[in-house]
Structure 1
């Protein structure tokens, strides 16, 4: 089997070893041409001898090349052109007939190769017709050419070889389908990885740049009123920018991790900079690592949306072992809130991996918005 290029999701070309094996599989069956070849070499007339030998050698080379041509199409999952396949089979049959000048009735051995090539090249019914004609020819030859006797051995050889080739052709088709499936799996894996990277970068930069923008705006208002506090805000903007850059680097290197405690600390700072009162949990329950990370992403997405869009004065975050909830007293959901943006899409994808549900909507009482991520058992309550 060919190796997979994980960067592109494509199968690499077959190695030289496997290409050589394919040539040998096609050429080994030419051994059965030894009978007509011996008959040709035994001819007393030189022209019959050399015509028979030359036609048989050309026949063998053409058969191997034809087999490789068809195999290359099947391996690449490309359809075999029917017109060209029929033309090549007619040419192969013509070479077999030409050899009859030096081989006599033994030329009919070439019909075995013509029949198997038809099975490999042509669709089902077309191949069956060629096999039937090739099998009937030895039985009818004695009636058409008095010097040729009926060759029942060739008749059975055509049937058995064709039956075997039907199995080989089916196997080749399955291998082609398997290669196509592997290519599709590789392509989807690359697409999924790109989507994951884009989602993580969006979540990281969306939150960080939102906080940076708010703090920079605050610092601009404080420059003349309270220069020392403005300087502190600018210093924090620098710290946030460096932290965001580090996050991007960790994400690109697939080392990105999110912790709920860190996100709550960042949420407190972001909400304070935006002038939004924060009601955050004083203590956190013990959570498994994956759930802690999921809840951390939920807090990051929820607080980012509160700061950006809500116009709220107060934000509350509640955490339990089964759920995390971010709510505000802002303007509430819009008609397209449930389908909003990359952030909620990415959060839903993460939640699905832990069999958790993401619920967004208005608060039960009064104005505002709620984002809730809960395990399925807790989300049902």
Structure 2
């Protein structure tokens, strides 16, 4: 599971827990008022029903608001009506505004979710309207002065509304940043593939086109002019041999990549993808062939980090002929090594080296390669 998804779930589960605690507290308030005889049984049941009408849909409303930018729905409107009914059914007493008056939190709780379905200007207007209306109701019922009730209600609603906006903004920022990192990693891999494809096209495109034309010409001349057809086929064989030589030289060029240049390029790619990279390279005493093999291991290891992990850090250490590449992007059971690692393992084994890859006891993924010095 990606880190942004974990953050989203943690945030929503935390809100669910807060809603559940508030539901227990307010339900206890209704029960207490009923036991004390201050609410009749039908009155208490109606208040409890309104409370559930607000709190039960709230987790679904929050998930819809955090996943996208939704428009107001019938569920939101119905829960708002339930919140209004709850406030009217259990008004605060005239001498306990800050105690039993906490029941008005039902309206503010609905407001904190409702503003997520509105543009910013509409959310601010809605907040002001609800604050004024709720304060007016509380003032009329309790007889408390307007200047006493309004600041309390405004502060409570303001804190809840601002907190909800900030939490959602934070989640969207985390999600966008993670998607940007994935895009950068995919772009780095795609650019490498494009470079390889472009080199192959430049090397083989012209030669294969000429070979195709000469082969077709030789086929047409086979019965009319066998001598010329033979000369054309000789040219085809020569061109095929030259193309093979060019491909071998190109492969040798890829195999002859510089270790330090590869380390610099890998660090830049990982840093661009949001993975902090550290390098400790002591490979000056290695032969050119050994350095080239380690450079290939570094390139393949970095490609796998970019494509198959969510690592936040990667450490590359080269000590003599041993390379260790560690990252913290292991999630679950890793799949079997891919074609790239198998190919590298075979190449290293052919010169007396070794390659291993897998999770460690510390929760990291370790790619280890050893080459003869």
TM-score normalized with structure 2 length:
0.50
